[in-house]
Amino acid sequence: MEGVDHLAHERSKAQFDVDEMKIVWAGSRHSFEVSDRISRLVASDPVFRKDNRTMLARKDLFKNTLRKAAHAWKRIIDLRLTEEEAKTLRFFVDEPAYTDLHWGMFLPAIQGQGTDEQQEKWLPLAYKMQIIGCYAQTELGHGSNVQGLETTATFDPQKDEFIINSPTLTSSKWWPGGLGKISTHAVVYARLITDGQDHGVHGFIVQLRSLDDHLPLPGITVGDIGMKFGSGAYNSMDNGVLRFDNVRIPRDQMLMRVSQVTREGKYMQSNVPRQLVYGTMVFVRKTIVSDASCALSRAVCIATRYSAVRRQFGSQKGGVETQVIDYKTQQSRLFPLLASAYAFRFVGEWLSWLYTDVTQRLQAKDFATLPEAHACTAGLKSLTTSATADAIEECRKLCGGHGYLSSSGLPELFAVYVPACTYEGDNIVLLLQVARFLVKTVSQLVSGKKPVGTTAYLGRVELLMQSRPNVQKAEDWLQPSVIVEVFEARATRMSVACAKNVSKFPSLEEGFAELSADLVEAAVAHCQLIVVSKFIEKLQQVIPGKGVKEQLLNLCYIYALFLLHKHLGDFVSTGCITPKQASLANDQLRSLYSQVRPNAVALVDAFNYTDHYLSSVLGRYDGNVYQNLYDEAWKDPLNESVVPDGYHEYVRPLLTQQLRNARL
């Protein structure tokens, strides 16, 4: 049956132009072309095969990742790929590796925090990979609270050097990717101490290993922190532990763009605004949100295709059974996730715009909108990563028993994805920051301060505290203005309630602490509003292609009405909608599912993922699931011999009842 498209029937049902949708998903024709070309390049290269990943022991897995990273670099050079193409290639190699941190954290840290001279010295080395760097911030005892880091960098004016030291066990650096086995250098965050005075946490470039023999330099203890979730997943990465025993580095290896230590040991601020960090933060989070849409769409693609292949129940004796994608429960679990994938894609796109905007404002020294941009990206990072992590597992469950097999691709996708909820800011800690910003914004309304950007709606607080949507029948929900207003009303009322309740406490801090669970919910409401709004804004643009906009509109409504149902308590108890209107929304949702159903497979085809990238037997483009599941199974090492290792020692004595005398 090779070469047969088992899903051809599904594809023929699509009511829109899939090729045009591919462009929309990719963001532009150019992006589509690059990602299409590079993903095929990776897929066709045997060095980049992934299907054996979960069977490799840690050391073999790791070595194979080193091989892939080197091969990727060679391809990038040999083919003279552009920066965009190189990035795309690394993305499709799809395996956590030290290069992620080198390109994603080490270089940007130097770019953002290094002086011009420092950049001139270090960046060329890093660009050519003559040095390999990582980002060493987190310690065994300190993660979320960066200000609590214990590693010290004490200035020695005698020698014009900093002494980097790990004074306690809990000050050991712990987690940095690429640190354990590979990095030659690190940006190390440590408390700066000059003349006995603690100036808080600053970044330092520290060489860790000799460039001759790769051995750790004197005073440095470094290693891998061990196995993590999954069998492949992040185990291809050498997250590391690092201790310093009074290691000396030259003074000019402190990253001095924002603050400096002079030859005499004087601590000084430069005239570069501290707000610079916002730029980097927005950049990193925009990447995380777009990664969320990739991971989510990948899981949804697998679950959708398999749900169209899988049949269960509903036949008369011996007849063909019902495709599980036709069950309304399956649709009500799957289609909102499909809609979320598109929603996150578009909000990620919007964040690219926001990044440009923030960068321009920084250059113009206009800092007014930065706190809002900061809160907004913190919230979107949290919202999209939490939702994606949950969704991957839901997609796995949607595949029934077979989803539990590594060959389904979903277990490893989950295992490799979930830390996104924790790194770059624990999601709850981030939402608390958003909530504080919202409460502050609400409190400042009375003084006439106009909220900006994604919080602008709070300026219409009086209206939104009163508004009631004009929804009398199910189809009334199919109006963008109604949707936005309801989401704005809910977010407003929750933020206002929080602000009011917090103010009842003896101190604001007590109020925040005591009501923090409510605050988190208000922050979520705000962030969901942003995603819904940006989806709707996207649809106000011209979108060419037969039926493309119609499909996106359906998905947009599904996303919004699904959230409305999921958080019904918020909407109804704040009086934003009535129970009757909620039930109409549900009716509408069911009808939207029916409209999406014939387009479902085409809507995931639009992601344009290769079978290599999906690495899922269940998600294969051709839908030829069973034969491939069957063939995959026999590759397991356990099947190398018919009688398993251990049978003679541990099973036979049992069967023959000779256990008593056996030595186990």
Ligand X SMILES: Cc1cc2nc3c(=O)[nH]c(=O)nc-3n(C[C@H](O)[C@H](O)[C@H](O)COP(=O)(O)OP(=O)(O)OC[C@H]3O[C@@H](n4cnc5c(N)ncnc54)[C@H](O)[C@@H]3O)c2cc1C
> Hey, what are 59's tokens?
């050391």
Distance (Å, whole) CA 322 – CA 551: 24
Judged by CB under 8 A, which stretch of 13-21, 109-117, 141-149, 300-308 contacts its own copies? Answer: 141-149
The yes or no reply on residue 426 touching its own copies (CB under 8 A) is yes
Distance (Å, whole) CA 608 – CA 41: 14
The yes or no reply on residue 284 touching ligand X (CB under 6 A) is no
Of residues 89-128, those binding its own copies (CB under 8 A): 128
Residue 101 interacting partner from ligand X, its own copies, Ca ion, none (CB closer than 5 to 8 Å by kind): ligand X
Residue 317 interacting partner from Ca ion, ligand X, its own copies, none (CB closer than 5 to 8 Å by kind): its own copies
Judged by CB under 6 A, which stretch of 44-52, 172-180, 245-253, 477-485 contacts ligand X? Answer: 172-180
Closest CA to 100 of 201, 37, 179: 179
Of residues 559-618, those binding its own copies (CB under 8 A): 565, 567-575, 579, 582-583, 586, 590
Q: Which residues share a beta bridge with 242?
A: 173, 222
The yes or no reply on residue 231 touching Ca ion (CB under 5 A) is yes
375 Cα distance to chain centroid = 17
In whole angstroms, how close is the CB of 150 to ligand X at the nearest point? 13
The yes or no reply on residue 197 touching its own copies (CB under 8 A) is no
Q: Are 403 and 616 in contact (CB under 8 A)?
A: no
Of residues 263-282, those binding ligand X (CB under 6 A): none
Of the pair 56, 378, the CB lying nearest its own copies is at 56
Of the pair 97, 563, the CB lying nearest Ca ion is at 97
CA angle 621–557–30, rounded 5-degree value: 50
Q: Are 306 and 523 in contact (CB under 8 A)?
A: no
DSSP letters of 304-344?
Answer: HHHHHH-B-S--STTS---BGGGSHHHHHHHHHHHHHHHHH
The yes or no reply on residue 324 touching ligand X (CB under 6 A) is yes
Of residues 74-133, those binding ligand X (CB under 6 A): 101
Closest CA to 239 of 136, 150, 162, 339: 136
Of residues 424-453, those binding ligand X (CB under 6 A): 426, 428-429, 432
Of residues 254-273, those binding its own copies (CB under 8 A): none
Q: Are 238 and 180 in contact (CB under 8 A)?
A: yes
Q: Is 412 a catalytic residue?
A: no
Of the pair 391, 489, the CB lying nearest ligand X is at 391
In degrees and rounded to multiples of 5, residue 186 shows phi and psi of -150, 150
> Hey, what are 49's tokens?
């095969």
Q: Which residues share a beta bridge with 198?
A: 193
Helix (H, G, I), strand (E, B) or coil at 353: helix
Q: Are 224 and 240 in contact (CB under 8 A)?
A: yes
Binding residues for FAD are 138, 177
In whole angstroms, how close is the CB of 118 to its own copies at the nearest point? 21
Q: Which of 424, 475, 488, 632 is the catalytic position?
A: 424
Q: Determine which residue in the list 313, 364, 542, 663 makes contact with ligand X, applying CB under 6 A.
A: 313
Helix (H) or strand (E) holding 58: helix 58-78
Structure-token match 């900093």, residue found:
162
Of residues 145-164, those binding its own copies (CB under 8 A): 145, 148
Site string for its own copies, 285-324 (x = CB under 8 A): --------------------------xxx-x-xx--x---
Distance (Å, whole) CA 483 – CA 470: 11
- Per DSSP, 142 falls in state B
> How many residues of this chain bind Ca ion (CB under 5 A)?
1
Of the pair 55, 428, the CB lying nearest Ca ion is at 55
Q: Which amino acid is at 294?
A: C
Distance (Å, whole) CA 236 – CA 65: 6
Of the pair 155, 571, the CB lying nearest its own copies is at 571
Residue 137 interacting partner from ligand X, its own copies, Ca ion, none (CB closer than 5 to 8 Å by kind): ligand X
Distance (Å, whole) CA 339 – CA 603: 10
- Residues marked as catalytic: 424
Binding site for ligand X (CB under 6 A): 101, 135-138, 143-144, 175-177, 234, 239, 310, 312-313, 324, 327, 329-330, 398, 400-402, 404, 419, 422-423, 426, 428-429, 432
